[in-house]
Amino acid sequence: MPDPAGTSRYGCVAIVPAGGSGSRFGATIPKQYLSIAGAPVLGHTLRALAAVAAIEHLFVVVPATEDRADDIAANVRDTTVLRCAGAQRADTVSNALNAIAKMVRRDAWILVHDAARPCLAPADVARLLEVLRGHPVGGLLAAPVTDTLKRADEHGDVVETVSRDRLWRAQTPQMFRYESLAHALAASPDVTDEAQAIEALGMAPKLVPGSAGNIKITHADDAALAEFYLSHRAAV
């Protein structure tokens, strides 16, 4: 690790919140530790990030009593496990930012990526870094909405068809400067992603097109699809 008091602080790191219990997934273990395509979900996720040379260090954030991430992280270059996960995602990321405060520059790029997105393509991350290199705010990977969208009432009946024009599905990584992100999350602790916190400060994150395969494992069907993507990629 760099000298906290020196000038060798990191300028680009990834934070991977991995504190979820996976209650919606319905398995006996959190989904990030589920084995698919020959490895834990978290292992696939970390290796995808580590394949991007510009990311200097990875920080996996888990609860204080969690030890399953240790062996996984040990097999990925430049990866540290932080035991400071909070009750919500924003708490976890804020706690991680506090924990690494002396290891990164104030203007360091922070990439926050879901532990349960194992199909991330390193080329997408490289493009995100390139597009945002000189951007004043930062941004995120995203995919244009292609399905027809319906708005329902409280009974589940269709109220209207919503135009999908200029609608995007947010993905991760989401990439912002350390100081801006820390301030944004402190001001908006109830957000569901980092971009929402940045938006609440009146800033406009950049949407960078990502691959449709960068899915988040939430339900059992998602795990089967992720395994298909990963197995296909390994066979190519």
Q: What is the DSSP string of 61-92?
A: E--TT--HHHHHHHTSTTEEEE----SSHHHH
What is the CB neighbour count within 10 angstroms for residue 67? 10
Which pTM does this prediction carry? Answer: 0.93
CB-CB contact of 30 with 60 (8 Å): no
Question: What does the block give as tokens for 215?
Answer: 């899915």
Terminal alpha carbon distance of the chain = 35
Would you give per-residue pLDDT tens digits along the chain (236 residues)? 555 444 579 999 999 999 976 555 556 789 999 999 999 999 999 999 999 999 999 999 999 999 999 999 999 999 999 999 999 999 999 999 999 999 999 999 999 999 999 999 999 999 999 999 999 999 999 999 999 999 999 999 999 999 999 999 999 999 999 999 999 999 999 999 999 999 999 999 999 999 999 999 998 899 999 999 998 876 55
Domain residue extents for the chain: 10-139+170-235
**Residue 194: CB partners within 8 Å, gap ≥ 6?**
93, 112, 140, 174, 176, 181, 184, 185
Residue 86, judged by CB atoms within 10 A of its CB (0-12, 13-18, 19+), counts as middle
- 173: which 2 tokens? 């990584």
Strands 10-17 vs 57-61: parallel, antiparallel or unpaired: parallel
> To which CATH superfamily is domain 10-139+170-235 assigned?
Spore Coat Polysaccharide Biosynthesis Protein SpsA; Chain A (3.90.550.10)
3-state secondary structure of 117: coil
